[in-house]
Amino acid sequence: MDDLKKAELQAMQEFLREFPFLVELDHFHFIGLYKRIYKLDMRFPRFPSAEQHYLAIHRGHIRVPVTVERLSFNDAKSFVKSILEALNGQTKDDGTTACLQQGTRDLTAIAFELLSIQQQYRCDVAFNPDITHVEITALRQGKQHMLVLNRTSGQQFKITRHTLPEPAVTESFQRQTTLERHWQIFCDTLDQLEEFYGNLNTIDELCYVVHPTHIDTKTTWRVFKYDRKVFLKVALHPLQPTAVDISFIGPTRMVSGLREQYSEKQDEWDTECNVYTNLLRIFDKMSFPMRPIDPAEAGAEGEDDCGICMGYRDTDNRIPIVSCDNEKCSLIFHVFCLKEWFATQRESKKFFTISIGNCPYCKHKISSSFDDLIAL
């Protein structure tokens, strides 16, 4: 440690000993509760100098002005002493003091709790001056998780936004309660979701996932390539690792064979293995097709381009996944392109959610649930 760092550290230690009610929230950013009435928020970017400082003082929810003449000091220690002298001259013991003290104690307790969360979990914490809105971000799962809360009264909070999959959200998570309780439930739920996220991450890394086009922490399913014309949709329950729902997209005969194979071997599912490994065992495969390392290579040869628009990715970044039942027909189509084609054909029909029409080229039957595929 060089001499400059040692001097800076020594000055910091002396500063905190001089003002024990202050806590360093971040680098040269201090908060504290003075006389259980005033909440101080100070930043000294050039510590121990007071140059370019930031100062905010609140009594309850009311910002307290401080006479400028009293703050003409160059070093942080003298600067804070002048603030305290000014506050001592403003302190009044009236009927509102107890109420203000309680409000300030609530704010301070919450601020310290947020500081503890930030330091322990190495996440980002942001809140407004009266701590009515709190955002805890960059948490776990590749720094993707977040929790947003609004303070309703005192130390009571309500969650307004989160990144958990909805099936994992319990009733207690939605109640109005303390920040500490909300945070405990949130972290406990994340612990329970480790296997769920592990299964999805393995599929994302080792399979050619085509849907969803944007993967987030709330999505509980994946659609990936089984082969050129068949796709698997795997849906997982976040809190029940063995609850796996498999569906198939592709030509009727091919899909029927795979569905029958899955049904016959479903009892062989090994709960000690992850979802990806179990699917390989059930379908007797060494691996599933993987996403090209270079996205530009996907569909580069043209064989997987849509047989209607002749493109690989549509305006929503989706690839062709619908093909006809004619095994000799090699064409495959975007969902939206084929739906628009069916809309122009008189012979096209719809039964409940299933649309039936003819292939634009070989005229063989195509049946598809457009609504379900569009919802992917």
Q: Which of 69-83, 138-152, 310-324, 362-376 has the lowest mean pLDDT?
A: 362-376
Is 205's pLDDT higher than 90? yes
The per-residue pLDDT for range 272-284, each reduced to its tens digit, is 999 999 999 999 9
| Statement: the pTM of the whole predicted model exceeds 0.75 | no
> Could you tell me the two tokens for 144?
């993707």
Sign of the Cα pseudo-torsion (260, 261, 262, 266, in order): positive
Residue with tokens 């776990």: 140
Q: How confident is the model at residue 194 (pLDDT cuts 50, 70, 90)?
A: very high
The sheet carrying 29-34 orders its strands as 22-26, 29-34, 38-43, 54-59, 62-63
Q: Which is nearest to 114 in space by CA: 162, 152, 149, 154?
A: 149
Residue 362 identity (one-letter amino acid)? C
Mean pLDDT of all residues in 93-98: 50
374 has a pLDDT exceeding 50: no
